[in-house]
Amino acid sequence: MSFSSQANSSAAPYSWVLFDADETLFYFDAFEGLKLMFSGFGVSFTQVDFEEYQRVNKPLWVAYQDGKISAAELQTIRFEPWAAKLTVTPQTLNSAFLSAMAEICAPLPGARELLAALQGKAKMGIITNGFTELQTVRLERTGLQHHFDILVISEKVGVAKPDVGIFEHALELMGHPAREQVLMVGDNPHSDIQGGINAGFHTCWYNVHGHAAPEGITPHYQVSSHRELQQMLGL
C-alpha cells in the first residue's frame, strides 16, 4: 500500500520507528569520500577510478548482505588493489575512508525536522549495515545521537540486513514490543524493507527516486521525502 492510500487514516500507533542510516538519514557520497581520502595519499582519485572501485565493492556488499563474507573481509578486499599500489595496508585505507566519510557527512533534507517531531512520541533506533568506525562519530558530529534509543550495527551483531537475526537483536534491545508497533524505514527495498517484513515489522520505503518496487517486495508505505513521512505519521 502506498502513502496516498493511507493518507486519511492513522499511520498506526508505532511505539518504535527504526531507520536505516546511509541514504535514509544521511548523505553517503562515496566518491567524494574516496576523493578526500586519497588526496591524503597524494592521489587524484577520478570518476574512472571510482567506477573500477565499484566493480569490486558492489559485489562484496551483496556477498556481505547474503552472509557469504564478513565485514572485515569486505573492508579489506575492496582496498587491496589500491593498498598494493600505495604500499600501505588495506586496513589503513579503510580507516582513512571511514574518517573521510565522517568528515563530509550531513543529514538528508528534512531528517533533523523529522527526528525532532518524532521525539517523545515514539522511541527511535538505527539498524545499519554500515561500519562501526563511522556510526558513532557521525551521530556525534551531526548532533543527532540523542534522538536514538538503540544503535544496531551489523558488524557488531555478526549478521547484516536483510537477515532476520539483526532485526531480532533489535527487538530484544527494544524490550520486545509488539512487532506491528515497529516501523522500519529505509531506502533499500531488499535489505530494509524485505528484512523488516520478514521480521514482522511494518515498513516504509524511503523511495526518493520513484523506483518501482522489486517483484515480490511490498512495503506497507512509500514516501519520497522526510516531510512526507512526517505527514504520514501525523506529526
Inter-residue long-range contacts of 221-227, CB under 8 Å, 24+ positions, other chains counted? 221/1, 221/2, 221/3, 221/6, 221/11, 222/2, 222/3, 223/3, 225/109, 225/110, 226/108, 226/109, 226/110, 226/111, 226/113, 226/114, 227/110, 227/113, 227/114
130 in Cβ contact with 153 (< 8 Å):
yes
Residues, the chain, total?
A: 235
Q: How many Cα atoms are found within 13 Å in the side-chain-facing hemisphere of 99?
A: 11
Residues tagged active-site: 20
CA pseudo-torsion sign 139, 158, 197, 224: positive
In this structure, the dihedral spanned by the alpha carbons of residues 26, 29, 33 and 34, taken in order and rounded to 10 degrees, is: 150
Distance, CA of 25 to CA of 34 (rounded, Å): 20
- What are the grid coordinates assigned to 167, written together? 532485526
Classified as helix, coil or strand, 19 is strand
